[in-house]
Structures are given as C-alpha cells and as structure tokens.
Amino acid sequence: MKVLKIHIENIRGVKEIDLEPEGENFVIFGPNGTGKSAIVDALDFLFTGRISRLSGEGTAGITLRTHGPHVDSKPKDTLVQAEIQILGSKDIFMLKRSLCRPDKLEILSGDKTKLTDILKIASRGQHVLSRREILKYIAAKKGERGKEIQALLNLRKVEQLKGTIRKRGNGSSKNTRLR
C-alpha cells in the first residue's frame, strides 16, 4: 500500500499536519516531543482503529479516548484522512477515521471490497514497525535474525505449524523427511 497524502488533526502530539509522500518512502525526523511518533500513530489508527503503542504491556490505565487526542483537544476534534493506493493497482482510496468513532472507518472513495484484504493485514499489526522493533532486528546475531523477522511480521504461528509438520513427518516414516 502506498500513502499518497495524509491529513492529521489533533492526534497525540500533532495539532495539524498535511504530508504528501506521493507513494514514496519518507523519513520523519526532529527533536524529541515534536510529534514524529504521532504521525506513525495516526497511520496505525487510520488503518486499525487502534494505536498499538497505547495498548499492551506497560500501558495500564492508558486509553485511546483519553490519550489519543492532542493534549488540547477532545475526540470529536480529531481526524486522520489519507489518500492511498494499493500496490500493483491504479485504484485510489480516500479513507477517514476519528477518535469519536474509532470503530468506523469511512471509505470516501474507492471500491470497498478491494480494500478488505489490505485492512486484514493491518489488523495483524504488520503495517507499522517501531524504532524499537527495527533496532532489535539490527542488533540480532546472525542466527537470531530469522526469529526477529518472524516476530516483526507476526509469523510465529507459521513456524510453530512447520515444526509440528516436521515432527509428524519425521515420525511417520523413516524414509520421508521434511526440511
């Protein structure tokens, strides 16, 4: 998926910003506290209705409704809107979501049915890599990098299934081995 344009209002550390990456990779940089992570949070929120950094281990008491809006704003004042294009397709979609209805993704233009599979991938958290996850992969030793990629892409269940198949295959016949 390519992000062509994104408009963010009152999400986390961002009061208002418009970006036009035009489907290209882009780098967000600046001093601490300037809203870099909030741009990633806004994309996460747009595609999933959640901000993954506000859930899970070490986030007790943090809620999307309370901690998602900019400090000076309320959920009704928030907005993330983006124009996206699916890779290998000419289809362009305009998506919109607000913290006042995080469960409701509005598809303002584009064929909704073509977007379903892409949104399923996003729901598994495979659309956002945090700095911490990238550094963990970079710092991994040669033998551990494969495991880190599996963790990054949420593929642990696939590896467990492969292990089960290997065990069953190796146990069923001495002449048959799965690699």
Question: Strand 14-19 to strand 106-109: parallel, antiparallel, or no bridges (unpaired)?
Answer: unpaired
Under the banding of pLDDT at 50, 70 and 90, the label for residue 105 is very high
Question: Residue 108 pLDDT > 70, yes or no?
Answer: yes
pTM of the model as a whole: 0.69
Q: Which residue segments constitute the domains of the chain, with CATH numbers given?
A: 2-127 (3.40.50.300), 132-172 (no CATH)
Mean pLDDT of the chain: 81
CA distances from 113 to 50, 97, 109 (A): 21, 18, 12
Cα 106 to Cα 94: distance, rounded to the nearest angstrom: 8
Please tell me the predicted confidence (pLDDT) of residue 102. 92
Question: Residue 150 pLDDT > 50, yes or no?
Answer: yes
Cα 131 to Cα 113: distance, rounded to the nearest angstrom: 32
At CB < 8 A and 24+ separation, what contacts does 74-78 make?
75/99, 75/100, 76/100, 77/9, 77/10, 78/9, 78/10, 78/11
Q: If you count them, how many residues does the chain have?
A: 179
Please tell me the predicted confidence (pLDDT) of residue 56. 64
Cα 39 to Cα 155: distance, rounded to the nearest angstrom: 26
Cα 134 to Cα 129: distance, rounded to the nearest angstrom: 7
pLDDT tens figures, 25-84:
887 888 888 888 899 889 989 988 988 777 766 667 777 788 888 999 999 999 999 999
Please tell me the predicted confidence (pLDDT) of residue 19. 95
Cα 19 to Cα 42: distance, rounded to the nearest angstrom: 12
Q: For residue 156, which phi and psi values (nearest 5 degrees)? A: -60, -40
3-class SS of residue 40 = helix
More confident residue, 151 or 36: 36
How far is C-alpha 145 from the geometric centre of its chain's CA atoms? 21
